[in-house]
Amino acid sequence: MTSLTAALTGALDCFHNEQADAKLVYGPQRQAVLSLKKAEHAFETITSWPNYQASDLHLLESMAKEANIAQIYYKDESTRFGLKSFKALGGAYAVTRFLQEHLSLLNGKEPSMSDLLSGHYKEQLKDVVVSCATDGNHGRSVAWGAQMFGCQCIIYIHRDVSVGRQSAMEAYAAKVIRITGNYDESVRQAAVDAKKYDRAIISDTSYEGYTKVPANVALGYTVMLSETVTQLNGQIPTHVFIQAGVGGLAAAVCGYFWDLWGDKRPRFVVVEPEAANCLQESAKAGELQVVEGDLDTLMAGLACGEVSHIAWEILDKGADDFITLSEDAVAPCMRALEQHTPSIEAGESAVAGLAACIVGAQNAKWRLALGLDEQSKVLVLGTEGATDPELYQELVFGA
C-alpha cells in the first residue's frame, strides 16, 4: 500500500497551556458568549435554508495507522452550501440575525426565516448595506447571505487576497474594495468606513465594544459541530486539532464541546501558522498580544495578527495546547487527502489541524508533548475545499 503521509514533514512549536484544566466548569460567563442552548437556534435556522445538508465525516483510517494512533475523524466542509467552506455557516447566519433584528425595530416584530426567504421584506432591505473585512471565505458567506435576503454588501480585502477569492465574492453581487495593508488593517478600514457611511459590520472577529455579531458568527459554526456529534455516534474524541486565525472557530469548537461533554471533553490543540501566531503568543504572555508584520503564510485564511476578544474568553483556559505549523507541511497534506480513498478536496487553510496531528504523532518529542498514543482518537475539521482553484491545482498537481 502506498503511504499517504511519507512526504508529510514539517516542524511544530508546542506551547502547553498550564491555565487549561478539563475539570473547570464551562460556566455562565462563557455560556453568555456561546452555549448549547444558543446553538439550538442557529441549527434550527440554518437547517431551514435552501439546499442544506450535513457535510461528511470521513474516517482517515490509513493515515491514522501510519501515524500510529487509533483514529482520525475528518469533518469535510468542502461542499458546504456550494461555497466550499464552513464560513458559509457563520457569516450568513450573522447576516440573518442582523436583518431580523433590523426589521423587528422597523415593524415591531421579528420576521420568520420563511418570510425573509420569501422576499417579503425586499423593499425594506434594498438600501441596507452589510460589510466586513475578509481573507476570502467569511466575505463570501456574508455576500451570499446578503444576496439571499436582498440587501447590499461591501467587502474589504487586503493586498494578499487572491483574485480568485475576490471574484468568488463578486459572483454574489458584493462590491469588493482592496486595500494595500494586511488583514488587520482591512478590518480597521472596514469599521471606519461603516461608521462614516452607516453600514452594518458583520465581522468574525470581536474587539472592545463589538461582540454581538462575532458571537452570532461563531454560533453559525456550531451547526457543523452538532452534525459531528451525531456522526460520531456516541464516540468522544481524545483530541481536537483545530486551526485558528483570530480564534473564532477554535473558540466555537472548544466552547461547544466543553459545554456538551464537560470534564470528558477532548484535549484542544490550537494550530496556527508560524508567521501569524497571535493566540500562541497571547497564551505565552497570559494576555492578549498582537503579531505585527506581513503575516505571510500559505494558509491565507489563518493570516491574522490580532485575537478576537470573545474567542479569548473561551480559549484562555479552554485550549490545552497552542502550536505552530511550518509551511512545508501544507501542500503534502493537501496531496495526501486528494490521493485518499475516497478523494478529499482540501484547501490550504483546511489542513493545518490534520497536518499538525500527523507531523506531531510521527515525532517522539511532539507525540509525548501532545499526549498522542495508540489509543488516541483525533477529530480535525477540514474547513475548506479549493476556494482558490488555481492555487489548489498548483499545490496539489503542480499545474
Q: Catalytic amino acids? A: 87, 135
DSSP code of 80? G
CB-based contact 181:156 (threshold 8 Å): no
Contacts of 27 (CB under 8 A, 6+ apart): none
Cα separation, 257 vs 270, whole angstroms: 14
CB-based contact 269:356 (threshold 8 Å): yes
Q: CA-based Rg of the chain, rounded to a whole angstrom?
A: 20
Calculate the CA dihedral of residues 148, 150, 152, 153 and round it to 10 degrees. Answer: -10
Cα separation, 23 vs 298, whole angstroms: 37
Q: Are strands 129-134 and 12-16 parallel, antiparallel or unpaired?
A: unpaired
Q: Where are the alpha helices (DSSP H) in the chain?
A: 27-31, 36-46, 61-66, 87-107, 113-118, 122-125, 137-149, 163-170, 183-197, 212-232, 248-261, 278-285, 309-318, 330-339, 352-361, 364-369, 389-397
- Residue that has been written with the C-alpha cell 478590518 in this structure: 187
Q: Which three cell numbers stand for residue 30?
A: 462563557
Contacts of 54 (CB under 8 A, 6+ apart): 227, 230, 231
Q: Which three cell numbers stand for residue 48?
A: 431551514
